[in-house]
């Protein structure tokens, strides 16, 4: 399964609705965050390459279920097919989640496997990964946050990044004039594995919808067990 940090980053930018495109911008142009509409849906494919060069494809669908006057909102995330995907002993299946995000699309809390005996809740403090809006080209950010879960697991994350450019990006959902982000996310697992994600992401400059994300994984400390991701590509397939 993709780690919680990766999915938080995906969902945080995935649900903004509206027309693609836009006229580009310069370093002085500000791009606000727009709370997504209730009922809006975005669907993505996630293609993961593991250490044995297997290509693992999963689908993730995000639906906005409610929003608040302060700009925060709630959404559900799941694989509409409900498929279980296990390769080399690792489960890459998308875990159903109910997520609350703030007015910059940063994760505040979530419940995994909601409504089931295995449900687990987690809270991110002060919030999850990603930059604060409004954004402009050239803006850099650094964040340290912690994630505390009902199963007793607590994880500390750090992220640094920058909005580096505006460029055209074409995906199955259309062609977008998109802000390009470069960032590095890092955390240490209970087993002592230090995971570093080098991330390039594109978000529509008009709506902030996540258009595409490419991730390269590296590991230090205690080596991960066989069957682990070395890269992932997330692509917007459709939205409504």
Sequence-separated (6 or more) residues with CB below 8 Å from residue 37 = 17, 64, 67
Tens digits of residue pLDDT in 160-204:
999 999 999 999 999 999 999 999 999 999 889 999 999 999 998
pLDDT above 90: percentage of residues in the chain: 72
Residue 58 structure tokens? 């999963």
**What is the maximum alpha-carbon separation in the chain?**
50
Q: Could you tell me the CATH number of the domain that includes residue 138?
A: 2.40.360
For residues 152 and 65, give the distance between their C-alpha atoms in angstroms, rounded to a whole number.
28
What is the structure's pLDDT at 22? 38
What is the structure's pLDDT at 26? 53
Q: Is 70 exceeded by the pLDDT of residue 6?
A: no
Tens digits of residue pLDDT in 10-68:
444 443 333 333 334 455 789 988 788 899 999 999 999 999 999 999 999 999 999 99
What is the structure's pLDDT at 170? 97
**Structural domain containing residue 120:** 4-239
For residues 15 and 240, give the distance between their C-alpha atoms in angstroms, rounded to a whole number.
10
For residues 23 and 170, give the distance between their C-alpha atoms in angstroms, rounded to a whole number.
15
How many Cβ atoms from other residues are within 10 Å of residue 36's Cβ? 26
Domains held by the chain: number: 1
What is the structure's pLDDT at 16? 35
- The closest alpha carbon to 218, from 182, 190, 181, 185, belongs to 185
Using alpha carbons only, what angle is made at residue 227 by residues 223 and 232, rounded to the nearest 5 degrees?
A: 100
What is the structure's pLDDT at 105? 87
Provide the residue count of the chain: 240
Q: Is 80 exceeded by the pLDDT of residue 235?
A: yes
The mean of the pLDDT values for the chain is 88
């Amino acid at each position: 399964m993709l780690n919680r940090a990766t999915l938080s980053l995906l969902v945080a930018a995935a649900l903004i609705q509206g027309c693609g495109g836009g006229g580009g911008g310069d370093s002085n142009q500000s791009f606000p965050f727009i709370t997504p509409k209730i009922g809006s849906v975005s669907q993505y494919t996630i293609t993961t390459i593991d250490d044995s060069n297997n290509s693992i494809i999963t689908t993730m669908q995000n639906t906005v279920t409610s929003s608040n006057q302060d700009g925060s909102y709630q959404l559900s995330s799941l694989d509409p097919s409900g498929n279980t995907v296990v390769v080399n002993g690792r489960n890459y299946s998308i875990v159903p989640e109910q997520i609350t995000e703030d007015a910059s699309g940063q994760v505040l809390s979530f419940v995994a496997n909601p409504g089931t005996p295995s449900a687990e809740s987690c809270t991110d403090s002060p919030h999850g990964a990603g930059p604060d809006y409004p954004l402009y080209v050239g803006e850099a950010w650094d964040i340290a946050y912690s994630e505390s879960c009902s199963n007793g697991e607590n994880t500390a994350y750090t992220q640094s990044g920058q909005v580096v450019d505006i460029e055209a990006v074409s995906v199955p959902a259309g062609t977008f004039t998109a802000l390009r982000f470069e960032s590095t996310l890092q955390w240490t697992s209970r087993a002592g594995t230090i995971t570093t994600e080098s991330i390039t992401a594109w978000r529509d400059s008009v709506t902030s919808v996540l258009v595409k994300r490419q991730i390269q994984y590296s590991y230090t400390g205690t080596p991960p067990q066989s069957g682990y991701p070395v890269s992932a590509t997330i692509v917007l397939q459709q939205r409504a």
